[in-house]
Structure 1
Amino acid sequence: MNQSTNPSEASLHAIDYWQVVKNRYGVILLTFLLVFMTALVITYVMPKKYESTAVVQVRQKGTGIQVIPGMADASRYQESSSAMFFPTEFAVIKAQKTLDAAIENLDLVNRWNTDLETVRRTLKGIVDAQDIRGTSLIEIKVRYNDPKDAQKIAKEVAEAYRERRKKLQGDYSNQALDELRKAVIAQEDAVEDKRKLLSQIIRTEGIIYWGDPSVSGGPRGFTKADDAESAAKAYVDLEQEKIQLESQIETLLRYDGPQLMNYASGLSLPDNIIPVLLPQYQEQKRQYEAMKSQGRGERHPMMLSQASNLQSMEKDLVEAVANLRETLKAKLSLAQEQLARLKTRMDVKEDDAVKQGIANQNFVDAKNDFETAQRLLEQLKVKEISETMQTKITEDPIILHEEPMISNVPVSPNVTLNLALGAVVGMIFGIGVAFFLEYLDTSVKSLEDVERYLQVPVLAVIPKDVGVLYKQSGMSPDAEAYRILRTNIEFNRKNPEDNAITVVSGGAGEGKSTTLVNLAYICAQGGYTTLMIDADLRRPRLHTFFDINNSVGLTNYLTTELMLEDVILQTPVDNLYFMPSGILPADAAGILNSRRMSELIQDVKQRFDLVLVDSPPILGVSDASVLASEVDLTMIVVQHRKLPRNMLMRVKQAVENVGGHVIGVVLNNVDVRSDSQYQYYTSYYTYYAPAESQPMPSPVSSQPSQSPQPRAASKKTTSADDSKQDLY
């Protein structure tokens, strides 16, 4: 359900907004014209300014030729890569020193006949700088009311900026070169000091140095550490030999017999003959055992000879083992003596190696310091040469690519832009004023406003500029609005006998009298005997619609003994009668608030089908309240978009306070062309209006006597049903 209603609500809001624009298009147009004309006048009176532009290229330091490859300074490119470079240069262009140079070159103080500070402020206001996107070009723009001065100032500012940047860059380069030369001299002194220290260490420690140790993997000429290492190694080898000899001797002493022989034969010694004798002995013994196994006895000559050989060979083996034992002991004693001497020598070599290591470390440290300082000195000298050559190469930091020209066409004010802005601002401001006035406007704008605040129905909507119907030729389409009013009155009155109706309004000029006359005319056309009573004893107007003299009328009847027939006149319209106001009294409210007035109302109600009483504005005087209390019904005429809602509510309250009954409201003078919501309500007036060729419908009821100057009117003799049928 909400989804279906939301688009309608949005559409309604858009229509409401458009309706506000249409209703107040005059205010919008007036505001638009005022703002637009203001913009036009301001544009016309604004001083014309001419612009002159100089285009320069900024060559940042380090972007020139690289004198020595590999010696580029990273600090030179730091300025180029900085995002703040161009904003900084813009500030430099507009800086005081740059402008002062241009002021001095052009002698602006004397030319403009003012003081220096004023000239500075003027130049700061007319000089501007901006970069051309994607390039290193800067536009120096000058806007001034004199095109020649603008051209000269732009040229001098660009030249002053160029000279200042060139001077700053030269000063920086010279200062850097001076500092570099001082650093070279200081480094040379440091290298000389380190060289002397290295030479002293070499002489003191007796170190032989053949060059860079990194080539051979370490410093050359260092032998003491090698000697200590050799001595230690020889000591270890000799100690192992000694341990081996001790083990062999101990084994020889522990074994005996065949085991001793087997072990001794396995020793690899130069004087060991056991390995030769033992196999021979074993072979002889095997032969002896073989002969014995053959059955030969111990007394056999061959057995005896073999036994003799075995004894001799065994004796030789025992002597050989004894000799071997003595040899090993001698060798052990010699090894112990050598080991003691080698121990002493090794200790000495170790002490020398420790001292040499300390001296060697001092030498290495001094040598590294010397070589590092020497390499740094070489780099500084190369950089000094590079900077010296760089300063000799002239490099202009600023290149002028476009000379400022004298402009013949002013750039300010921009007439097209100013007028366009004036038109846009005027339209926006006008619409804003219209909506603001609409917000402040509390008058009645729609039928819903009337019914919401007054709680009474809207009987009819009368279009704007509706005249007097009976004076118009043919059948006017506007008459349909009053026919609707006539029908709604009949439907909204609860009692058919309530036929006395007063027409009131909150203020003057709301169309109350015109509405009454046209309604009476339409009712008379419908066959109703209708009486109009002009009870507006302040400013009566009804007699002017019919060109009737109002010297005799209501006041005469109320204050004299005149008969009713003497004050009621018949109009040129059939069934339409009129009671003028008569002579205007001093106390109108007192005359109206009388019993004779009540009797008059009761009398005319019996004589006529419809009695319409005109009254003065109800908020201005009390006459209308008195009339509202005398008649049956009260109809309020409200001019569209005039009275505030609270005033309209007071109109209804004033009627109800005296006991009157409000039958409804007539919304008068509605501009249906601008208010689209009423176009649907009134668009059928013309379409369904009777054509001119159609004859007037004859009334159903009988007509009263219509003499040229009737003096009295009689009540209709037709039945009430016929009257209602004609009304519907």
Structure 2
Amino acid sequence: MNQSTNPSEVSLHAIDYWQVVKNRYGVILLTFLLVFMTALVITYVMPKKYESIAVVQVRPKGTGTQVIPGMTDNRGQESSMATFLPTEFAVIKAQKTLDAAIENLDLVNRWNTDLESVRRTLKGIVDAQDIRGTSLIEIRVRYNDPKDAQKIAKEVAEAYRERRNKLQADNANQALDELRKAVIVQEDAVEDKRKLLSQIIRTEGIIYSGDQSVFQGSRGFDQADDAESAARAYVTLEQDKIQLESQIETLLKYDGPQLMNYASGLSLPDNIIPVLLPQFQTAKREYEGMKSQGRGERHPMMISSAKMLEEMEKDLVEAVANLRETLKAKLALSQEQLSRLKTRMDLKEEEAIKGGIAAQSFVDAKNDFETAQRLLEQLKVKQISEEMQTRITEEPIIMHEEPMISGVPVSPNVTLNLALGAVVGMIFGVGVAFFLEYLDTSVKSLEDVERYLQVPVLAVIPKDVGVLYKQSGMSPDAEAYRILRTNIEFNRKNPEDNAITVVSGGAGEGKSTTLVNLAYICAQGGYTTLMIDADLRRPRLHTFFDINNSVGLTNYLTTELMLEDVILQTPVDNLYFMPSGILPADAAGILNSRRMSELIQDVKQRFDLVLVDSPPILGVSDASVLASEVDLTMIVVQHRKLPRNMLMRVKQAVENVGGHVIGVVLNNVDVRSDSQYQYYTSYYTYYAPAESQPMPTSSASQGATQPPSPRQSPRGSSSSSDDSKQDLY
């Protein structure tokens, strides 16, 4: 649902904004002209400034000829830094650069001022900027004297060039001095390291070839190998000793057959148990075989076999004992060898450590010497490069464009200033218009009236509508009052409510003109209409008809005059008029009287419509008194004049005295410029007169025709009046 209504709302808002611009185009135009003229005056009074430009190329250090291939100047890397050009801009505008230009031009005496003022002036007129994508710098000087601008630009560029040359030369000389000192220090360091290396070679007896990176014939490497071999032999012998100890321990732990079996498994050169034990086991099996065959222990073969087994067992026991003694002897020998080898290994290890330390000292001294020597060579090459570079002339600043004397001022920019003034004026004018529209709480639309007053809008009266009865022909403006007449007829609940007072909140809202034109239209429609000028402060109705105002309402209320003496016939048929009469001192008191009430009741019986003009209701109390006397009250509101809260007070003032508001007439509306009222203009062309028609006149003169008698029908002839209203509505 919301999505479907958004486009119409946006369109309505755009129309509203355009309407604000149309309604307040005068304010916008005035504001635009004021801002534009201000810009024009400011541009005219601004002092003219002339610009002179010097274009120079900046060549950072190191970007010239490369003296020694492969040698780079790290200081030349500043050209690739993003801060290089901004730094040079600051150098151009620095105090020392400007002071040099001031001194060369003698600006203090020429301008007859002090040095600080000249410095401030130059800081304000000197500017520097780069040409995009290049190393070119534009030195710009803007001043009110074109010759001074040209001279200052030239001297600033020259001062900048001299400072750059001097700084670059000073830096190069300082760097060269420091490089020479570094070469001397490095030469001393190389000599010291050479002496240390020679001392180590002589002390350790090292054979060293200077063009090789290692030494030859040194004992250090042999000693390290001997120590490593001794350590390996010691480890092997120690493992053998541990094995012998384990074998002896096992021989001591076993007994009987287990001992025989274990001893037979030892692979030793003097071990005969592996031979004897199988023979003993074979003989024992034969003995057991004969025994199983039933031979007794006394059998000769059994006895012989038993003796042989006993001998063989003794041999085995003796062999085990011999094996044990052999192992013990070998263990003792192994321990003695291990002790001697331990002593030898410790000696070899100590010799290897000493040789390694000496070798390491040699290698370190040799590396230090070679590194120092290479560094010295690099420093010497650098020194030669710097000395040659210093002797080569390299211009860091190249002037590409000399400053010229300008004949055309660059400031103020008339076209730009006026264009900005026009744009700002238009924006400011539109802003003022919308701000005034925001502050404006007056009635702007029919919806405003109906929303705040809760009463209908009876008619919209166009702007600049004159007095209708004085216009010739069929005026299209009359249609608005015909609509008003119709709406009054259909919005009054009681047909007998025919006394209507016309009020407004303030003066000048068109109340009297609206009443006269409405009365004229009603009279044209066949209504016998009476206009009563009850505005006893500033009466105006008599001026519309050029009628004498000396006798009228006040005379009737304060004397015994008859009604026929104060009601006059106008040149329009069916239209009568009661002037205000002599202005009284107490207008409210006269109106708030019994005779005034009787007057209203009397004229209601005599006329079809009674229209009473009153003063502004918010200014005096007269209008409130009249609103309480008549049947209906019609409020006239001038478009875009009265604030909404004041309009609500008008209605409240009527209702507070018992009056009834029939509706509102929105007056003086510019229907041609205000889009929301443009549908009211359709009758302008529809009802445009085809040909001129004569203005209606009456044969009766002023005062010659008497007002209708109260004895007559209230609306003239009953048949003719009723038929006329039926035709009209």
In the superposition, the TM-score normalised over structure 2's length comes to 0.82
Specify whether residues 381 and 545 from structure 1 end up closer, same or farther in structure 2 by C-alpha distance, changes over 3 A only.
same
| Deviation by residue 1:414-452 (Cα, 9 ceiling, x = unmatched) | 001100111111111111111111111111111111111
Contact 2:571 / 2:701 at 8 angstroms: preserved in 1? no
CA shift, 1:111, in A, is: 0.7
1:210 Cα deviation after fit: 2.3
Distance in 2 (alpha carbons) for counterparts of 1:566 and 1:256: 176
| Structure 1 pair 268–382 and aligned structure 2 pair: CA distance change class (3 A) | farther
Give me the whole-angstrom Cα distance separating, in 1, the residues matched to 2:585 and 2:320: 183
Aligned partners of 2:60 and 2:396 also within 8 Å:
yes
Q: Choose 600-609 or 229-238, whichever is displaced more.
A: 229-238
Of 211-220 and 277-286, more deviation after overlay is shown by 277-286
Deviations 1:561-604 (A, max 9, x none): 22212221111111111111222222222221111111111111
Cα gap change, 1:220 to 1:695, in 2 (>3 Å) = farther
Aligned in 2, Cα 1:724/1:377: closer, same or farther, shift over 3 Å?
Answer: same
Partner Cα distance (2:50, 2:127) in 1: 13
User: Which residue number in structure 1 is paired with residue 722 of structure 2?
Assistant: 721
**Conserved? CA contact 1:527–1:726, under 8 Å:** no
**Aligned-residue identity in percent:** 90
Moved more, 75-84 or 200-209: 75-84
Describe the superposition over 1:595-631 as per-residue Cα deviations: whole angstroms up to 9, x where unpaired: 1111111111111111111111112222211111111
Which consecutive unaligned segments of at least 5 residues does structure 2 have? none
CA distance in 1 between counterparts of 2:663 and 2:428 reads 39
1:411 CA drift (Å): 0.6
**What is the number of residues matched between the two proteins?**
726
User: Which deviates further from its counterpart, 296-305 or 133-142?
Assistant: 296-305
CA, structure 1 residues 39+537, in 2 after alignment: closer, same or farther (shift >3 Å)? same
Q: How far 1:265 sits from its partner (Å)?
A: 24
Q: Secondary structure at the match of 1:134?
A: coil
Deviations 1:627-661 (A, max 9, x none): 11111111111111111112211211111111111
Distance 1:371 1:400 in 2: 49
CA change 1:634–1:152 in 2 (3 A) is same
Shift of 1:164: 0.9
Mark the CA change 1:695 to 1:371 in structure 2 (over 3 Å): closer, same or farther: same
Q: Which moved more, 1:355-364 or 1:341-350?
A: 341-350
Distance 1:218 1:585, change over 3 A: farther
Match of 2:428 in 1: 429
Specify the SS of the correspondent of 1:182: helix
The superposition leaves residues 345-366 of structure 1 with CA deviations (integer Å, 9 ceiling, x where unpaired) of: 9887666554333322222221
Query: For the Cα contact (< 8 Å) 1:281–1:310, is it kept in 2?
Result: yes
| Cα gap change, 1:153 to 1:284, in 2 (>3 Å) | same
Structure 1 unaligned segments of length 5 or more: list them: none
Residue pair 1:478, 1:685 contacting (<8 A) in 2 also: yes
Distance 1:269 1:576, change over 3 A: closer
Match of 1:31 in 2: 31
Partners of 1:462 and 1:669 within 8 A in 2? yes
Separation (CA, whole Å) in 2 of partners of 1:497 and 1:519: 18
Q: TM-score, normalised by structure 1?
A: 0.82
Instruction: Flag the 1:281–1:407 CA change in 2: closer, same or farther, 3 A.
Output: same
- CA-CA distance at 1:408 after TM superposition: 0.7
Matches of 2:321 and 2:589, distance apart in 1:
182
Greater alpha carbon shift after TM alignment, 225-234 vs 260-269: 260-269
CA 364–719 in structure 1, closer or farther in 2 if over 3 Å, else same: same
Counterparts of 2:550 and 2:50 in 1: how far apart (Å)?
80
How far apart, CA to CA, are the structure 1 residues paired with 2:321 and 2:641? 158
Cα distance 1:590–1:252, how it changes in 2: closer, same or farther (>3 A)? Answer: closer
Q: Which moved more, 1:170-179 or 1:580-589?
A: 580-589
Map 1:224-239 onto structure 2 (within 5 A): none
| C-alpha contact (below 8 Å) 1:527/1:701 kept by paired residues | no
Structure 2 CA distance for aligned equivalents of residues 620 and 342 of structure 1:
138
Taking a change above 3 Å as real, the CA distance of residues 313 and 149 of structure 1, as seen in their structure-2 partners, is: same
Cα offsets for 1:25-73 (capped at 9, x unmatched): 1111111101100000000000000111111111111111221122213
Q: CA 1:219/1:467 → structure 2, altered by over 3 Å: closer, same or farther?
A: farther
Instruction: Say if 1:556 and 1:602 are closer, same or farther in 2 by CA, change over 3 A.
Output: same
**Do the aligned residues in 2 keep the contact of 1:527 with 1:698 (CA within 8 Å)?**
no
- In structure 2, relative to structure 1, the CA distance for the partners of 1:702 and 1:633 (3 Å cut) is farther
Query: CA 1:724–1:174 in 2, change beyond 3 Å: closer, same or farther?
Result: same
Distance 1:295 1:427, change over 3 A: closer
Displacement of 1:673 in angstroms is 2.2
Q: 1:712 to 1:49 in 2, by over 3 A?
A: farther
Given that 1:655 and 1:662 are in contact with CA atoms closer than 8 Å, whether structure 2 keeps it comes out as: yes
> Aligned in 2, Cα 1:647/1:247: closer, same or farther, shift over 3 Å?
closer
Cα distance in 2 for partners of 1:587, 1:272 equals 167
Contact 2:501 2:632 (8 Å CA) reproduced: yes
Taking structure 1 as reference, are residues 709 and 175 closer, same or farther at Cα in structure 2, changes over 3 Å only?
A: farther
Contact 1:701-1:718 at 8 Å conserved across structures: no
Contact kept in structure 1, 2:130 and 2:138, CA below 8 Å:
yes
- Shift in CA distance, 256/429, structure 1 to aligned 2, threshold 3 Å: closer
In the alignment, the residues of structure 1 paired with residue 257 and residue 402 of structure 2 have an alpha-carbon distance, to the nearest angstrom, of: 124
CA distance in 1, matches of 2:268, 2:564: 186
State the secondary structure of the residue aligned to 1:29: helix
Moved more, 84-93 or 491-500: 84-93
Q: More displaced, 546-555 or 31-40?
A: 546-555
Q: Is the 8 A contact 2:208 2:214 kept in 1?
A: no
Residue pair 2:571, 2:697 contacting (<8 A) in 1 also? no
Q: CA deviation at 1:298?
A: 36
Q: 1:577 to 1:713 in 2, by over 3 A?
A: farther
- Cα distance in 2 for partners of 1:470, 1:200 equals 139
Cα separation, 2, equivalents of 1:87 and 1:101: 21
Shift of 1:317: 27
Classify 1:243/1:32 alpha carbon distance in 2 versus 1 (closer, same or farther; 3 Å): closer
Within 5 Å, give how 1:53-64 maps onto structure 2: 53-64=53-64
* Residues 565 and 712 in structure 1, CA contact (< 8 A), matched pair in contact too: no
- Per-residue deviation at 1:692? 3.8
Partner residue of 1:663? Answer: 662
Q: Which range is displaced more, 203-212 or 496-505?
A: 203-212
Query: d(CA) in 2 for partners of 1:333 and 1:11?
Result: 121
Residue-by-residue CA offset, 1:58-106 (whole Å, 9 max, x unaligned): 1111111221122213x32442232211211111111111111111111
Maintained 8 Å contact 1:569/1:709: no
More moved, 36-45 vs 572-581? 572-581
The RMSD of aligned alpha carbons is 6.9
Could you list the per-position Cα deviations for residues 650-698 of structure 1 after superposition, in whole angstroms to 9, with x for gaps in the alignment? 2111111111111111111111122111111232233135644789999
Q: Structure 2 CA distance, aligned partners of 1:625 and 1:265?
A: 152
User: How far does the alpha carbon of each residue in 1:377-410 deviate from its partner, in whole angstroms, 9 at most, with x for none?
Assistant: 1111111111111111111111111111111111
TM-superposed deviation, 1:321: 25
3-state SS in 2 of match to 1:100: helix
Deviating more after overlay: 219-228 vs 154-163:
219-228
**Matched-pair contact (CA < 8 Å) for 2:591–2:625:** yes
Q: Which moved more, 1:293-302 or 1:614-623?
A: 293-302
* Contact 2:499 2:612 (C-alpha < 8 Å) held by counterparts: yes
Comparing 269-278 with 421-430, which one deviates more in the overlay? 269-278
Verify the 8 A CA contact 1:555 1:583 in the aligned structure 2: yes
Question: In the superposition, relative to structure 1, how do residues 511 and 486 fare at CA in structure 2: closer, same or farther (>3 Å)?
Answer: same
Q: Is the 8 Å Cα contact of residues 469 and 695 (structure 2) preserved in structure 1?
A: no
Shift of 1:367: 1.4
3-state DSSP class of the match of 1:47?
Answer: coil
Contact kept? 1:39, 1:422, Cα under 8 Å = yes
Q: How does 1:534-573 map to 2 (within 5 A)?
A: 534-573=533-572
- C-alpha displacement at 1:162, in angstroms? 1.2
1:114-144 Cα shifts (integer Å, max 9, x gaps) = 1111111111111111111111111111111
- Please give the alpha-carbon distance, in whole angstroms, between the structure 1 residues aligned to 2:172 and 2:162: 15
